[in-house]
A = this chain, B = another copy of it.
Amino acid sequence: MTQPIVFMLDVAPADAPEPEGGWAATVHRVPDGQPSLMATELSATRGDGVFETLGVIDGFAQAVDGHFWRLANSAQLLELPAPNLEQWRAAMQIAAAALPTDRQGGVKLVLSRGVEGSGVPTGWLIATTTSGDFPSRRDGWKVVTLDRGYRHDLSEKAPWLLPGAKTLSYAVNMAALREAARRGADNAIFISSDDYVMEAPQSTVLLRRGNTLITPKTDIGILPGTTQLSVFAVAGEWGFATEDRLVAASDLFDSDGVWLLSSVMLATPITEIDGRAIAVDRDLTDRLNDALLARRE
């Protein structure tokens, strides 16, 4: 990964019209290595904000609409001021265009509650490139299952637990990845306390069973997967049925393939879960990644 490129935003209210100089005038590139956040930022002291990470292919930000829908939804769940999506779209284009076009990259965008006491949100973008080499898309990952502690039906009863919001409070997600590494695995799948498949710390779970592609339904308190939505959009053309449903943990072992889906890694086949081998569908893996590498609005 090369040096990230950072842009700070003069965050506009949702209904603000485009300013005279255009939205580009509200997006400021930060000189490399220069601090741009206050130490009293509520993102840094409370994990209080939301984010999205978009894949960038040849300078084109992928699935912007899906990510922006989720950004707005996360902001609403946290009672943050609604984002001005036209402003974020302009900022995203600027950030994506700053990346070299010969490599795959990503842009993370952050909307935080802002400096404590200010009442004004802070927004920024971080553009990064990768080496262009994603061996995991072919070689796959070993994963372990980890208890997420919540029942699958908790979500509607306890909105203050922020189910479905992509918040900056990711300490548990990061700890789960360390636990996976400790067990010799590459990643983890969270299971509800009553044994349903939830999601991975940074990705969505996809299963194939015969002619059907399956993902856990999101009303169990997990994130709607933007990459998963792209997969379901093409699956019909390939002759697959698609299902969002409750997925029992045991279903992971009774499948014709399991993948983790995310915006930058794309589709990673799972080769092993908790030490048990999982069937890898190499043909479908390649088709998934080819489709995800194509331009997606």
Contact = CB atoms under 8 A, between A and B. Distances in A.
Interface stretch (A41-49, A86-94, A135-143, A271-279): A41-49
Nearest to A33: B38
B46 A168 contact: yes
A234 interface: no
Interface in A146-192: 146-151, 154, 157-162, 165, 167-176, 178-179
Interface string A110-146: 1010001100000010100000000000000000001
A41 B37 contact: yes
A39 interface: yes
Interface residues of A, number: 58
A1 interface: yes
Contacts of A78: 171, 175
Nearest to A157: B147
Contacts of A49: 171
A159 B179 contact: yes
A35 interface: yes
A40 interface: yes
Given A36-B39, A47-B169, 13 more contacts: A34-B38, A37-B39, A37-B41, A39-B126, A43-B44, A45-B51, A46-B168, A148-B161, A149-B154, A151-B193, A160-B176, A161-B172, A162-B175
